[in-house]
Amino acid sequence: MTFNSNLNLLKAIGRTPCVKLENISKLTGHEVWAKLEFMNPGGSIKDRIAMYMIEKAEREGKIKPGDTIIENSSGNTAMGLAIVCRQKGYKLKIVIRDTTSKEKIKMLEIMGVDVIKVNAALPPEHPDSYNNFAEKYAAENPGVFYIDQHNNLDNNEAHYMSTGPEIWQQMNGRIDYFVAGVGTGGTCTGAGRYLKEQDPGIAVIGVDPVGSIFYDYFKQKKLVKPSRYLIEGLGDEFLIKTAQLEMLDDMIQVTDKQAIEHTFLLVAQEGILSGGSSGANIYGVVTLAKKIRKPSVICTVICDSGYKYLSTVYNDDWLTANNLI
Ligand SMILES: Cc1ncc(COP(=O)(O)O)c(C=O)c1O
């Protein structure tokens, strides 16, 4: 057995396993594969973009160690940034909705991040809302760099440069569909673009929670009024630059309940304890599988670990209070 002895923590980001979901494959009649992104050091796919966006900003001379970085994040980008900032010597401020799972908030506090909780009920146009606070803070405080994962195309590029090529290699070019939830859209469109460049026959399917605006915009170019949903990491209330919906072949809409049911399906069938957005992806895979007749190869992403959601997705009281069981 050979081990890579030239590894530091940042080099341990990426190169995650891509495994066949044996039982879900049997259940759907298609070959279903999943890239296990919870195996990144920060426990999610977002380590990739955190490292890429910081290193790109460094190369462009926009930041240097000692500076302060600010970002709004549902927790995973925040954890990725926390690791990269610790390794490279940046200070980090994270704006987070007060509804985010308390495990994620606690982990960031342990990492020494300045966590700024904002009221999730504030309308998106409010200056102190989740969407506006970080940008405003960076504009008012010189020396603070706003990462802006929702409009920074280096996010998509990170997946184009790493997630996409890894999937292509690991699948040996045998892939018909790539299914991924759209949060910023970085994963789905960045990796999706790379895969389509290798084989234009690959269809890229986005998954969007009911309550987010992406699905209706994709289907009918209509901007609907957003409403509240509970799955963390997916969807948005605005159109954002990184969600390059025009390159998707189709989108599938998922309710909180369907996402949760399929999170538990993933536990029951495969023994994979994931977060709710991965359950949404599995719902996307199962829904797609019912529509396609020819046996196909479908690849999706397990975005993060269930350990981050013991107080929400895996808590009966939370599920009951939110009518999810
Ligand atoms: C848990 C989780 N799943 C999925 C996503 C979506 O990934 P992307 O932003 O690349 O669309 C995110 C993004 O924040 C996330 O935190």
Nearest to 235 by CA among 263, 260, 254: 254
Task: Name the residue with the closest Cα to ligand 1, atom 15.
Answer: 233
Active site residue 117: no
Nearest to 285 by CA among 20, 35, 28: 28
Determine the topology of domain 9-44+161-317 in CATH.
Answer: Rossmann fold (3.40.50)
Pocket probe for ligand 1: among 162, 187, 215, 241, the residue whose CB has the most ligand atoms within 8 Å is 187
Give per-residue pLDDT as tens, 36-85. 999 999 999 999 999 999 999 999 999 999 999 999 997 899 999 999 99
255 band by pLDDT with thresholds 50, 70 and 90: very high
Helix (H, G, I), strand (E, B) or coil at 292: coil
CA distance 10 to 19: 23
Pocket probe for ligand 1: among 52, 73, 76, the residue whose CB has the most ligand atoms within 8 Å is 76
Determine which one of 20, 26, 35, 46 is catalytic.
46
User: Over pLDDT 90: what percentage of the chain?
Assistant: 90
Give the pair of three-digit tokens for residue 28: 């759907």
> What is the average per-residue pLDDT within 99-113?
90
Give the pair of three-digit tokens for residue 48: 């990739």
Give per-residue pLDDT as tens, 183-194. 999 999 999 999
1 band by pLDDT with thresholds 50, 70 and 90: low
214 band by pLDDT with thresholds 50, 70 and 90: very high
Give 309's DSSP letter: G
Torsion of CA 206, 99, 273, 207, to 10 degrees: -10
State residue 123's pLDDT score: 86
The domain 46-146 having CATH identifier 3.40.50.150: the answer here is no
Residues of CATH 3.40.50.1100 domain(s) within the chain? 9-44+161-317, 46-146
State residue 6's pLDDT score: 67
Among the residue ranges 56-65, 95-104, 284-293, the one predicted with the least confidence is 95-104
pLDDT of 268 over the 70 cut: yes
Task: Name the residue with the closest Cα to ligand 1, atom 7.
Answer: 183
pLDDT: which is higher, 6 or 54: 54
Nearest to 180 by CA among 7, 50, 303: 303
State residue 222's pLDDT score: 97
CA of 88 relative to ligand 1 center, distance in Å? 24
Give the pair of three-digit tokens for residue 233: 């990491």
Give the residues surrounding ligand 1 with Cβ less than 6 Å away: 46, 74, 76-77, 181-188, 232-234, 275, 277, 303-304
Task: Name the residue with the closest Cα to ligand 1, atom 16.
Answer: 233
State residue 101's pLDDT score: 79
